[in-house]
Chain A
């Protein structure tokens, strides 16, 4: 069905799933990102957001279904974690050229866009969390990617920096005309410029568009009208609830383990599911 739409997707997952040790990490995921489109993945911890992004990037190979990337796709990736050991002498300047051999002009443009000019000669391991996020973003955009994949870019970043980062990502999308796959740690508040939100919990729970913050009084109170434009609320439309034991209760009250058969024996996962229920109690 994706093929019928005008622009060819940069990347698409078709019923993709991945198994490890007899357990489905994610299963039956359909996802596509087109040029200029921002897709946000949300879901509780351990729900397979990063795994899904890695399937899309080709770091992981699907055990079921298909992952497609457009030929010659240029990817800019900002991983969730990247630790640089003390033994590695790595300056920001060198880090910007880590993978692609980028033209000087593109480096300058990326540095200017992300405002990291003053950090260029610093060692990567000495940067603060927020500084390193911007440096990683600068590196990812320097090669003018067709697809930008950001894994929790606002994690550990304070609120006003979060707004600024979202505004920057929105501008980058407009200027570079790239597709953006964004993973968010927040279950309800997403970047306003998001075209599509996909809620994951081992499978796609629901999908939709965010509602502008401006139309939600509660969030206006919480964040203030001034900060509104960068953020939006996503209202989940779940027809099922994940039970603490890993099974799924459907709208009609039947309980199955249908979403990922054979799953649910993992303690950590169960805890996350329980939290998911607590936060999304009204969603089902």
Chain B
């Protein structure tokens, strides 16, 4: 079955989406969209370094993402620039550095478009293995730190005051982000990874009542976007990575329409009437 490139693309894409959904919820809740962007831009530098030192691309991207996260934490502690400016600095410097390093290696012929926008149709069986092994690891670890991570997302001080250790959860979460970016790079490319994290989560928000619910629905919406995008790209001969993101955008826009509101209001009708009774 995996002989067909399209099936391989579908399996790989869905695998990434299932992991990106739950993690993306935290990106949305914690307002880390730009942080995700920074890590994914830095991924290009990771790819360049992988060619330079002839190491595994996924590993190099993971390593660079971790370094960039640590650099950000260190700079935030001592520099006078705002986090926002620091992220912009790191993000674009890493992207530019990656492009420059790639240009220096004249002996390497590289598909830059594939790196920037993904090359999902070229995934191999080995890639699928990496995605599903890495993905399962991410989901397992996320489930383990879910409780403290979510508590710290709502209120860091509350979690700290009542004996949790939000710092540890934060560090683990940062590592998970780096893993997801490393494995998603091939699917949607440097420029569109953040979209896979954020858009399905944002589309799920209107339909859910609890955080766990939102994580599951974001994964489902992500998988639907991958399927929709891939079939669309096959049908209309459009680039696959961007098509996936466009499909996700379609879901998000649909979630804003009156039809979707009808669905969510219906689901929420009981508490709404209860709240009415409470005199609100």
Chain A: residues with CB nearer than 8 A to chain B? 54, 57-59, 74-77, 79, 82, 84-91, 94-95, 98-100, 118-119, 121-123, 126, 128, 131, 143, 149
Task: List the A side residues contacting B280 at CB < 8 Å.
Answer: 126, 128
Q: Contacts A75-B161, A82-B158; is A90 near B278 (CB within 8 Å)?
A: no
Residue picked from B28, B157, B161, most chain A C-beta under 10 Å: B161
Q: Contacts A77-B161, A98-B158, A99-B151; is A89 near B274 (CB within 8 Å)?
A: no
- Taking the closest CB of chain B, its distance from the CB of A86, in whole angstroms, is 8
**Distance, CA A77 to CA B205, complexed state (A):** 29
**Distance, CA A122 to CA B210, complexed state (A):** 11
Q: Does B153 contact A (CB under 8 A)?
A: yes
Chain B: residues with CB nearer than 8 A to chain A? 28-29, 31, 150-151, 153-155, 157-164, 202, 205, 208-211, 213-214, 270-271, 274-275, 277-278, 280
B159 close to A89 (CB less than 8 A): no
Name the residue of chain B whose CB is nearest to the CB of A78.
B158
**Distance, CA A143 to CA B164, complexed state (A):** 14
B28 close to A89 (CB less than 8 A): no
Name the residue of chain B whose CB is nearest to the CB of A77.
B161
Name the residue of chain A whose CB is nearest to the CB of B150.
A98
A77 close to B162 (CB less than 8 A): yes
Task: List the B side residues contacting A94 at CB < 8 Å.
Answer: 210-211
Name the residue of chain A whose CB is nearest to the CB of B25.
A87
| A-B pairs with beta carbons under 8 Å apart, 30 shown | A57-B161, A58-B160, A58-B161, A76-B162, A77-B158, A77-B162, A79-B155, A79-B158, A85-B29, A87-B29, A88-B29, A88-B153, A89-B210, A89-B214, A90-B211, A91-B210, A94-B210, A95-B154, A98-B151, A98-B155, A99-B159, A100-B162, A118-B274, A119-B274, A119-B275, A121-B270, A121-B271, A122-B275, A126-B280, A131-B278
Task: List the A side residues contacting B160 at CB < 8 Å.
Answer: 57-59
* Interface Cβ pair total, 8 Å cutoff: 87
Q: Dominant SS at the B interface? A: helix
**Distance, CA A156 to CA B135, complexed state (A):** 47
Task: List the A side residues contacting B28 at CB < 8 Å.
Answer: 87
**Distance, CA A121 to CA B278, complexed state (A):** 12
Closest 5 CB pairs of A and B: A121-B271, A77-B161, A57-B161, A99-B162, A89-B208
A59 close to B161 (CB less than 8 A): yes
Task: List the A side residues contacting B164 at CB < 8 Å.
Answer: 99
A99 close to B158 (CB less than 8 A): yes
Residue picked from B151, B162, B277, most chain A C-beta under 10 Å: B162
**Distance, CA A131 to CA B163, complexed state (A):** 25
**Distance, CA A37 to CA B214, complexed state (A):** 43
Task: List the B side residues contacting A89 at CB < 8 Å.
Answer: 205, 208-211, 213-214
**Distance, CA A222 to CA B89, complexed state (A):** 59
- Taking the closest CB of chain A, its distance from the CB of B239, in whole angstroms, is 30
- Taking the closest CB of chain B, its distance from the CB of A40, in whole angstroms, is 19
Task: List the A side residues contacting B163 at CB < 8 Å.
Answer: 74-75, 99
A90 close to B161 (CB less than 8 A): no
**Distance, CA A91 to CA B213, complexed state (A):** 12
Task: List the B side residues contacting A58 at CB < 8 Å.
Answer: 160-161
Task: List the A side residues contacting B211 at CB < 8 Å.
Answer: 88-90, 94
Name the residue of chain A whose CB is nearest to the CB of B205.
A87
Task: List the B side residues contacting A90 at CB < 8 Å.
Answer: 154, 210-211
**Distance, CA A89 to CA B153, complexed state (A):** 12
Task: List the B side residues contacting A128 at CB < 8 Å.
Answer: 280
**Distance, CA A118 to CA B278, complexed state (A):** 7
B161 close to A122 (CB less than 8 A): no
Name the residue of chain A whose CB is nearest to the CB of B278.
A118
**Distance, CA A59 to CA B278, complexed state (A):** 35
- Taking the closest CB of chain A, its distance from the CB of B142, in whole angstroms, is 17
Q: Contacts A89-B208, A121-B271; is A149 near B214 (CB within 8 Å)?
A: no
Task: List the B side residues contacting A57 at CB < 8 Å.
Answer: 160-161
